[in-house]
């Protein structure tokens, strides 16, 4: 199976919705190739144009396509028309001129023929010419910021360099993309050995997936990859302006795995996407993929399960190719108990096994539970997990507990897998899963369960009274357990419990046992009755507060540290576990989903005061450390989000702080859309409660700017930073460190945009404040020196870069110490400057100084240490000392594979370097 990046929106669809008049003109120009000027291209080139359009739709993510900052509807019109006109010069090509330039000349001379005016014709001519080789036509020759007011929706000028760069890249990629089989001149072209082109915007890679039949074809593919990389390098600066950050062309597989014979049945005459050649080192065969894919295994509950027959039935069915199994039934009837028993019975029979607690969606659940690819940015981490699962086989089994029947997208993904999957759910008839409905236990079995928890009648003299209680709940397993625990409370008796229940009219409906298709509705009925039972159980105010807090958390095991979060003690919780309202495990505590519903019914109107302790704790830096392992951070983030969702309409500063902390963690994990969502919720409270000119409001503006900066949306980053600056200058003053910090942030955005004069100007403003207010030896002052040095480094002014790096180093060594990681970072920066200058001995000297600190302070297996290994390898590589370069690249790779994972971009970069060095050595 192939996992592909999918972008839902096409440029032409965006044009249709935003500018229907331009869309109509575009259709008039290119309508199905019927126009005479398109017929002159021939069928093949018209097919080529359609293929280029498809590639462009994939190259540009939806968030960029629809952002008017990057693409005005008029620009989309010009780009789409250029796609279909860029090769018309083939009809006029001569030995003296390329067809690209002839395309431009033809459009200039006959623009009315193509339903364009003179200005539009000139713009499209320049875009078409830009798809030529750089030595024929430089994109810099395009009239950048070309003004065509008649079709500009935003009123701004158009960036023809950006549009030409995109056409150049898409046109080149089509040379590697499958075309319709049977085109005579192209039958032997290497492009027919390419299965697909897959942009991976999040990690800056465009992957060419191939099916080479022999070594010759593979070598030609490698040459194609190198040439395409050259074309990408030509346009990097222009597509970066378009909000796109591709930097590398990658061939998959990257090494030759032997000759391949493709039968006629393997082929589809129109494309090669369905031909799958798996690399010999598929991720699921890697020794780095552990047996247990998740950090937590479910606790064993082998007492009174009475479900051995069903466990055996499930095991047999899975082995007989029923790979998708659904354990369905009412909440509290024993679905999870059965799944846990099956898990422990068969976990050693499979190469890979996972137990996943369902949270929000299957995607979120996999991210929160899987320990694979920790340390990778969130989007790429999920892609890596997806890729592993798509390539895994029947030697892998995963259990997902308490799945929602409405998660159609998640279920659809699971159905595509070739692994064994066991779901538990209240819903029935989920997708193509084979359903195993859980029936009620017998009265005798339920009486035995009752006696498991009721220790006051060892002689079993009150069995008939217990039978009456069992009948009241129609043998519903969880209800039987809760009745037994309630009756065991000191000062209470079976007679008192039965009388109280009778007075309350407590009895499950007669039809309960026959219902199979409306599990959720019936579970709500059960929750209502459990609420009645809860009313009979006396709990004190502290226990009530604890239950309310747990009912607002996800249905997962909550770590024992929850006692600290809630500001309570273990003794406060013990009584609730004895009553069965909470369960305990080696990890901590858990509340059953139906009990959650009962508690929520009992306490419908939650109050902020009941959550004050946990909100205060979650708003501090003690709750989540963003540098912890991903699964721990994700689990805590899910709990915080669940609590926060109850108070989105509560206008308190403490709630705003909680929202802010959630946003920061989301941003640190690369989940920028969610970070912005929580930032906006934080901002809404700050602006209303604190006011539009409060420093905390400015901080939120600053945080929003930081997210946009990470996304590469520099105009928005500047806009929000300017809003923060306006407040800080007015309220805090022109000489406040926070004001200086905002100057620093604005400078960083200008640096990312390549506007070095403005970056230096803002950094100098920040520096002036830091030097005056904080002093010449403050770490913030050193950071600004470092930032200024980085600008000079980017400009190639190496003497000035070294001068400013040394100023930063002097402070850091004196104030933070000679072994501080920040000092090591500066050593590294200085080394890079020497490397850029070609002074390799000095570069190695400074890299070694950085390495000494990192190995001692951070350890041998830290990502930053691995970066220094890689940097040292680069220096030896530049010198042509390939054996030494290989030695250091391999040290970097060993650490990166272990710490970052096989799919991380840094790991991939080092792997590529090793492959190249080995080729040179051979």
Residues 454 and 484 sit within 8 Å (Cβ to Cβ)? yes
Please report where in the chains the tokens 């014709």 appear, as a residue. 121
**Phi, psi of 397, deg, nearest 5:** -140, 135
Considering only residues 571 and 240, tell me which one the structure prediction assigns the higher pLDDT: 571
Confidence tier at 200 by pLDDT (50, 70, 90): confident
Q: What pLDDT score does 99 carry?
A: 81
Question: pTM for the complete prediction?
Answer: 0.58
User: What's the rounded mean pLDDT across residues 459-471?
Assistant: 90
Instruction: Determine which of 108-122, 228-242, 420-434, 801-815 has the lowest per-residue pLDDT on average.
Output: 228-242
Q: If DSSP states are collapsed to H, E and C, what string results for 607-662?
A: CHHHHHHHHHHHCCCCCCCCCCCHHHHHHHHHHHHHHHHHHCCCCCHHHHHHHHHH
Instruction: Determine which of 208-212, 279-283, 842-846, 891-895 has the lowest per-residue pLDDT on average.
Output: 279-283
What is the greatest pairwise CA distance in the chain? Answer: 108
Q: What pLDDT score does 37 carry?
A: 56
Q: Which residues pair with 292 in a beta bridge?
A: 353
Alpha helix segments (H runs only) across 355-435 = 362-369, 378-391, 408-415
Alpha helix segments (H runs only) across 196-283 = 215-241
List the one residue out of 68, 56, 72, 67 whose CA is nearest residue 10: 56
Considering only residues 395 and 187, tell me which one the structure prediction assigns the higher pLDDT: 395
Confidence tier at 212 by pLDDT (50, 70, 90): confident
User: What's the rounded mean pLDDT across residues 885-909?
Assistant: 83
User: What's the rounded mean pLDDT across residues 212-217?
Assistant: 76
Residues 120 and 111 sit within 8 Å (Cβ to Cβ)? yes
Q: Between vectors from CA 400 to CA 394 and to CA 406, what angle results, nearest 5°?
A: 115
Confidence tier at 184 by pLDDT (50, 70, 90): very low
Maximum average pLDDT range among 281-295, 335-349, 611-625, 908-922:
335-349
User: What's the rounded mean pLDDT across residues 94-102?
Assistant: 74
Instruction: Determine which of 373-387, 682-696, 711-725, 763-777 has the lowest per-residue pLDDT on average.
Output: 373-387
Instruction: Determine which of 62-66, 301-305, 312-316, 705-709 has the lowest per-residue pLDDT on average.
Output: 301-305
Pairing of strands 434-437, 420-425: unpaired
Confidence tier at 607 by pLDDT (50, 70, 90): confident
Q: What pLDDT score does 377 carry?
A: 67
Percent of the chain with pLDDT over 70: 87
Q: Above 60 in pLDDT, residue 178?
A: no
CA distances from 232 to 227, 236, 249, 524, 693 (A): 9, 6, 8, 58, 45
Q: Above 70 in pLDDT, residue 867?
A: yes
Considering only residues 513 and 486, tell me which one the structure prediction assigns the higher pLDDT: 486
**How many Cα atoms sit within 13 Å of 517 on the Cβ side?**
0
Residues 6 or more apart whose Cβ sits within 8 Å of residue 649 = none
Please report where in the chains the tokens 């350890």 appear, as a residue. 859
pLDDT in tens, 223-238: 888 888 888 888 888 8
Maximum average pLDDT range among 11-20, 119-128, 507-516:
119-128
Instruction: Please state the separation of Cα 12 from the chain's center in Å.
Output: 27
Segments of 689-804 assigned E as strands: none
> How far apart, in Å, do the first and last CA atoms of the chain sit?
34
Six token digits for residue 143? 């009239």
Confidence tier at 78 by pLDDT (50, 70, 90): very high
Q: Above 90 in pLDDT, residue 339?
A: yes
Maximum average pLDDT range among 369-383, 493-507, 688-702:
688-702
Q: Above 90 in pLDDT, residue 614?
A: yes
Q: Above 80 in pLDDT, residue 211?
A: no
On average, the pLDDT of the chain sits at: 82
Q: What pLDDT score does 286 carry?
A: 41
Q: What pLDDT score does 283 carry?
A: 36
Confidence tier at 555 by pLDDT (50, 70, 90): confident
CA distances from 914 to 263, 293, 437, 591, 874 (A): 35, 29, 54, 51, 11
Q: What pLDDT score does 182 carry?
A: 33
Considering only residues 297 and 765, tell me which one the structure prediction assigns the higher pLDDT: 765
Q: What pLDDT score does 421 carry?
A: 94
Q: What pLDDT score does 260 carry?
A: 59
Confidence tier at 457 by pLDDT (50, 70, 90): confident
Inter-helix orientation angle 477-487/443-453, to 10°: 40
Maximum average pLDDT range among 317-321, 535-539, 563-567:
563-567
Instruction: Determine which of 183-187, 428-432, 441-445, 898-902 has the lowest per-residue pLDDT on average.
Output: 183-187
Please report where in the chains the tokens 């059953």 appear, as a residue. 592
List the one residue out of 50, 349, 303, 285 whose CA is nearest residue 177: 50
């Amino acid at each position: 199976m192939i996992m592909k990046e999918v972008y839902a929106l096409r440029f032409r669809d965006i044009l249709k919705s935003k500018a229907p008049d331009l869309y109509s003109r575009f259709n008039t120009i290119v309508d199905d190739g019927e126009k005479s000027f398109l017929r002159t291209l021939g069928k093949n080139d018209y097919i080529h144009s359609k293929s280029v359009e498809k590639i462009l739709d994939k190259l540009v993510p939806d968030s960029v396509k629809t952002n008017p900052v990057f693409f005005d509807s008029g620009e989309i019109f010009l780009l789409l028309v250029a796609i279909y006109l860029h090769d018309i010069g083939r009809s006029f090509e001569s030995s003296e001129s390329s067809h690209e330039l002839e395309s431009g000349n033809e459009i200039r001379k006959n623009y009315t023929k193509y339903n364009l005016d003179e200005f539009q014709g000139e713009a499209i001519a320049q875009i078409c010419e830009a798809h030529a080789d750089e030595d024929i036509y430089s994109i810099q020759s395009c009239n950048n910021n070309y003004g065509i007011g008649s079709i500009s929706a935003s009123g701004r000028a158009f960036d023809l360099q950006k549009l030409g760069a995109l056409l150049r890249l898409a046109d080149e990629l089509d040379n590697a993309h499958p075309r319709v089989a049977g085109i005579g001149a192209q039958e032997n072209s290497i492009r027919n050995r390419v299965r697909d082109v897959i942009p991976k915007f999040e990690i800056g890679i465009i992957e060419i997936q191939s099916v080479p039949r022999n070594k010759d074809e593979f070598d030609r593919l490698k040459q194609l990859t190198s040439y395409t990389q050259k074309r990408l390098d030509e346009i990097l600066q222009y597509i970066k302006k378009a909000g796109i950050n591709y930097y590398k062309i990658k061939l998959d597989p990257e090494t030759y795995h032997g000759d391949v014979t493709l039968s006629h049945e393997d082929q589809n005459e129109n494309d090669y996407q369905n031909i799958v050649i798996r690399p010999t080192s598929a991720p699921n065969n890697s020794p780095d993929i552990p047996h247990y894919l998740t950090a937590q295994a479910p606790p064993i509950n082998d007492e009174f399960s009475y479900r051995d027959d069903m466990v055996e039935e499930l095991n047999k069915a899975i082995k007989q190719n029923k790979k998708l199994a659904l354990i369905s039934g009412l909440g509290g009837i024993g679905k999870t108990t059965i799944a846990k028993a099956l898990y422990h019975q068969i976990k050693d029979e499979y190469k890979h096994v996972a137990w996943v607690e369902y949270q929000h969606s299957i995607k979120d659940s996999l991210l929160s539970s899987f320990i694979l690819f920790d340390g990778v940015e969130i989007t790429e981490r999920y892609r890596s997990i997806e890729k592993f699962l798509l390539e895994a086989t029947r030697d892998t089994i995963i259990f997902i507990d308490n799945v929602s029947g409405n998660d159609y997208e998640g279920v659809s993904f699971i159905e595509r897998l070739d692994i064994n999957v066991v779901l538990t759910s209240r819903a029935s008839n989920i997708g193509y899963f084979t359903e195993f409905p859980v029936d009620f236990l017998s009265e005798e079995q339920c009486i035995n369960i009752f006696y498991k928890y009721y220790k006051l009648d060892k002689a079993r003299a009150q069995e008939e009274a217990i039978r009456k209680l069992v009948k009241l709940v129609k043998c519903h397993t969880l209800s039987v357990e809760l009745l037994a625990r309630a009756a065991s409370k000191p000062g209470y008796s079976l007679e008192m419990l039965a009388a109280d229940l009778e007075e309350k009219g407590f009895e499950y409906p007669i039809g309960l046992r026959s219902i199979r298709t409306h599990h959720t509705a019936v579970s709500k009925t059960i929750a209502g009755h459990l609420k009645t039972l809860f009313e009979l159980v006396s709990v004190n105010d502290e226990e009530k507060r604890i239950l309310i807090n747990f009912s607002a958390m996800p249905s997962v095991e909550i770590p024992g540290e929850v006692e600290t979060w809630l500001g309570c003690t273990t003794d406060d919780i013990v009584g609730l576990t004895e009553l069965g309202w909470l369960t305990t495990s080696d990890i901590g505590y858990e509340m059953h989903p139906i009990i959650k519903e009962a508690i929520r019914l009992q306490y419908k109107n939650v109050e902020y005061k009941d959550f004050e302790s946990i909100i205060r704790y979650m708003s501090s830096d003690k709750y989540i450390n963003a540098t912890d392992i991903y699964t721990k951070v994700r689990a805590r983030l899910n709990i915080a989000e669940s609590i926060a969702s109850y108070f989105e309409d509560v206008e308190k500063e403490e709630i705003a702080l909680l929202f802010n902390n959630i946003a920061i963690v989301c941003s640190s994990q690369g989940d920028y859309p969610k970070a912005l969502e929580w930032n906006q919720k934080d901002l809404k409270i700050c602006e209303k409660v604190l006011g539009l000119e409060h420093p905390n409001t400015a901080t939120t503006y600053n945080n929003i700017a930081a997210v946009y900066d990470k996304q590469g949306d520099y105009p928005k980053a500047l806009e929000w930073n300017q809003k923060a600056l306006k407040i800080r200058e007015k309220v805090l003053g022109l000489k406040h460190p926070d004001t200086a910090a905002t100057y620093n942030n604005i400078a960083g955005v200008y640096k990312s945009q390549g506007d070095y004069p403005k970056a230096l100007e803002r950094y100098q403003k920040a520096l002036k404040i830091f030097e005056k207010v904080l002093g010449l030896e403050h770490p913030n002052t050193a950071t600004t020196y470092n930032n200024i040095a980085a600008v000079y480094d980017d400009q190639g002014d190496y003497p000035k870069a070294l001068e400013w790096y040394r100023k930063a180093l002097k402070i850091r060594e004196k104030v933070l110490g000679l072994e501080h990681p920040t000092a090591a970072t500066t050593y590294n920066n200085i080394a890079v400057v020497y490397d850029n200058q070609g002074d390799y001995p000095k570069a190695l000297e400074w890299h070694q100084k950085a390495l000494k600190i990192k190995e001692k302070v951070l350890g041998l297996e830290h990502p930053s240490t691995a970066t220094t290994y890689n940097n040292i390898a680069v220096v030896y590589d530049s010198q042509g000392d390939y054996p030494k370069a290989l030695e250091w690249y391999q040290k970097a790779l060993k650490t990166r594979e272990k710490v970052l994972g096989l799919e991380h971009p840094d790991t991939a970069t080092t792997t590529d370097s090793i492959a190249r060095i080995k080729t040179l050595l051979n």
